Structure 1
């Protein structure tokens, strides 16, 4: 399947991670939906397309015809237990809105993303309902947990990705992209002069300096994972300090602690959080992407975003 020239819709769009990836392959976005006003504003400024609001209130007849449906849909609880009724079981959940749009428009391809633990949610029942519903609607369903750390982004971010072809379009089982062997470090994604205040506290506890290993040729072996080198207070969530020669922890839309949402890092002997621009970079957004919200909202938006490089790797595999 060649992506260029195809039309897609962007549901639960956030700030457009799916849009970034698909647009880079030449696809055209014809509709977007996002209920959060701050994220929708960022989306509109960057793509020239104003997202519609709450998808539960949008009639599927009012959505343009499309080839690809994208959705980083929320993991809303499924209030059933092993009834095995597929489409009927999905009613009352946000996934049902995806299902009703798919039922009406029958796009060729569905690209879905969710948190890693989605497959274990409600004892695996939620995943079963999703797979059965899509199968009943005429789609093959392949899914896999992928980590952004293995696809060119210095962030430990594991998410489950679904690639669903309409059965009359593609008959073969889809193979997800293999992890990339290229080693990277957070250090190379940092701003030279970020507008982030350093953490100045008396309860910072630094461990022994991290000593990277070298290979037989004397080259530094980058670990491609976060490296904790200290802590603030008791070292709880948002209180751990990491080395920039490793990777960032998972960006989050929420969280507590002095390093909430991004984690803490030692940069030039200063302890600080990542800046919004640095968060954008480790999610795969180019520096041309406009950050228009205040810092708290910006952190939330990037914490909610999909990792663009992972999507691009999946799209490459789809074209193969």
Structure 2
């Protein structure tokens, strides 16, 4: 606990002692060793889906806790191979991506069809695979911002994947098509017994108002989460909320004054609690993304994000660039520091 407090610095007291009053922890379906039996078993998921979710929950350093630490590496498509792997060229080789996830004690590794397919026979039985089905790519010029299918569910099933993943750019002009495509893919994945993970991202230039970026607003991202669980994502990946009031600033859609006066405050744990609440009060687990690598401050930022996520009622962290853009030993240490937050009994639910 002392190491966590030291990394949090001046924020330690605020982040470790805060209590959420707007949405109390008693209302949530919280992660735990019995999460599948206590929460998921009541739903419509098949025994095969529950088995694959159990494979994720019971792997790595967080095995048996109900929390998840996942290594995602799809940035070679999403951002370009050079932008992603030039800082550490070893990760042009997919085997090193999977090795980092294993040595880093992760529950699973999420990547592209090509990355995971290239080493599936060696590693699919050693760590759960999450095959990312769709991507945005930046080689087409001029750039567009859309998610296109790069793989189908059967390919993921054939390589022994435990789950499939996909992104929807909620709020974009293309979002209705993406919602349908991903909904159908998730339906098929569940039929085949695989779990589903949805990257619930916002994408619209109008979500930036007067110099404030509301792509990480609690109210907008919360609604994206709500749409994600509507198409039966088992796990929601979301960027951590950094502000609020997106609906009011953009002046569209519908909201309620109580969202801002009663259910949330500006405190980061309250903002993330609202994101969790929109995942059916935690019936679908929410993992926050780790964000880009900024160098020396990555460890502190990763631990801070993990503390906020856990105390808000989240299910874990999915951190990529902060880990793989460093030498493997440093990447392993960062992943382990994130996991230590979820293993620490002193970091409680707010």
Structure showing greater relative contact order (alpha-carbon pairs closer than 8 Å, 6 or more residues apart): 2
- Shorter-normalised TM-score: what interval? 0.3 to 0.5
With the length of structure 1 as denominator, give the TM-score of the two structures.
0.33
Pair member with larger Rg: 1
Q: Which has the higher helix share?
A: 2
Q: TM-score, normalised by structure 2?
A: 0.31
